[in-house]
């Protein structure tokens, strides 16, 4: 069965430890035969903005590791270069320039922090009301981001929930509470030819007490995307080390099939290509 992991980090990302060659080996062990490295570039974190057109540190280190991975990785895995571009809506002109750089096949559009706020990871949540309010503002910013041509697929819709749940607040970004905003978000993505990611970083719970057993987005949002005519989905493990490389990708494909999707997307030069899901 063909499996592709379109969200993973190498040690070119500030929060990941393993080089591309080791990540590729670990992915292949889990049966994944195509991967795309999506190292962090966040407008909200200046230390990760090591990218052109003014600065080239990140592409330089990615290309160095990419060549090493080509030499050292085992046969049978196709390796692509991408980025996880965070908060493109905070600096749209620059985000569009990054998107136009020739090095990358695929760019994920993320939102890790609201304008003027810390990363959702760093917020101390005090009440469920506060969480709902942050979820609304998060969706409003995602809608802005969806209208900017600076990415191929929107990453982990519902990212903020991960940290709310870890602090005991079970907010959910689903159709019942946020149907209006989610419809607007999904319509905007579809009209602009953008896909969504099914992020499976928290899906597999076996031996992982920290995992929430959820996908981002949750499944009713995934189904709504399809109902509205959306058909571009990538699956991403969002792994930051060899321990989790490729974990959950197979289960993500199964969920796509169960929810009516026949194809998963891979990318060449920002163009989706569709691979049939065969379980």
Residues 227 to 256: which contact Zn ion by CB under 5 A? 238
Between 48 and 110, CB nearer to Zn ion: 110
According to CB under 5 A, which one of 48, 62, 110, 239 is a site residue for Zn ion? 110
Q: How far is the CB of 129 from Zn ion (least distance, A)?
A: 25
**Does the CA dihedral 127-213-231-223 come out positive or negative?**
negative
Q: How far is the CB of 160 from Zn ion (least distance, A)?
A: 11
Q: How far is the CB of 246 from Zn ion (least distance, A)?
A: 14
Q: How far apart are CA 83 and CA 268, in angstroms?
A: 14
- Residue 133: CB partners within 8 Å, gap ≥ 6? none
Smallest Cα–Cα separation from 114: which of 97, 98, 133, 128?
133
Residues 86 to 105: which contact Zn ion by CB under 5 A? none
Residues 177 to 216: which contact Zn ion by CB under 5 A? none
Q: How many residues bind Zn ion (CB under 5 A)?
A: 3
Between 59 and 237, CB nearer to Zn ion: 237
Q: How far is the CB of 71 from Zn ion (least distance, A)?
A: 25
Any idea which residue has 């670990």 for tokens? 26
Q: How far is the CB of 22 from Zn ion (least distance, A)?
A: 17
Q: How far is the CB of 43 from Zn ion (least distance, A)?
A: 13
Between 84 and 105, CB nearer to Zn ion: 84
Task: Point out which span in 19-27, 48-56, 107-115, 171-179 binds Zn ion (CB under 5 A).
Answer: 107-115
Taking residues 47 to 86 in sequence order and writing x for each that binds Zn ion by CB under 5 A, - otherwise, the string is -------------------------------------x--
Query: Is 39 a binder of Zn ion (CB under 5 A)?
Result: no
Cβ atoms of residues 160 and 135 within 8 Å: yes
Enumerate binding residues for Zn ion (CB under 5 A): 84, 110, 238
């Amino acid at each position: 069965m063909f499996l592709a992991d379109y969200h993973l980090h190498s040690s070119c990302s500030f929060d990941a430890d393993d080089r591309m060659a080791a990540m590729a080996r670990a992915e292949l062990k889990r049966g994944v035969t195509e991967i795309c490295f999506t190292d962090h570039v966040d407008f909200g974190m200046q230390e990760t903005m090591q990218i052109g057109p003014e600065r080239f540190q990140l592409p330089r280190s990615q290309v160095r590791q990419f060549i090493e991975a080509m030499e050292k990785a085992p046969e049978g895995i196709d390796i692509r270069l991408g980025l996880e571009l965070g908060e493109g809506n905070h600096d749209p002109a620059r985000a569009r320039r990054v998107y136009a750089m020739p090095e990358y096949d695929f760019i994920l559009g993320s939102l890790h922090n609201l304008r003027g706020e810390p990363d959702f990871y760093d917020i101390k949540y005090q009440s469920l009301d506060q969480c709902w309010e942050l979820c609304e503002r998060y969706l409003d910013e995602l809608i802005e981001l969806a209208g900017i041509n600076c990415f191929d697929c929107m990453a982990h819709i519902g990212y903020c929930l991960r940290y709310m749940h870890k602090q005991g607040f079970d907010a959910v970004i689903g159709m019942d509470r946020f149907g209006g905003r989610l419809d607007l978000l999904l319509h905007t993505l579809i009209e602009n030819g953008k896909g969504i990611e099914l992020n499976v970083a928290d899906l597999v719970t076996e031996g992982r007490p920290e995992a929430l057993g959820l996908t981002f987005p949750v499944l009713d949002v995934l189904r709504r995307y399809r109902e509205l005519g959306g058909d571009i989905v990538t699956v991403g493990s969002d792994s930051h080390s060899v321990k989790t490389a490729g974990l959950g990708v197979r289960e993500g494909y199964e969920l796509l099939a169960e929810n009516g999707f026949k194809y998963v997307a891979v990318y060449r030069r920002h163009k989706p290509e569709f691979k049939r899901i065969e379980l």
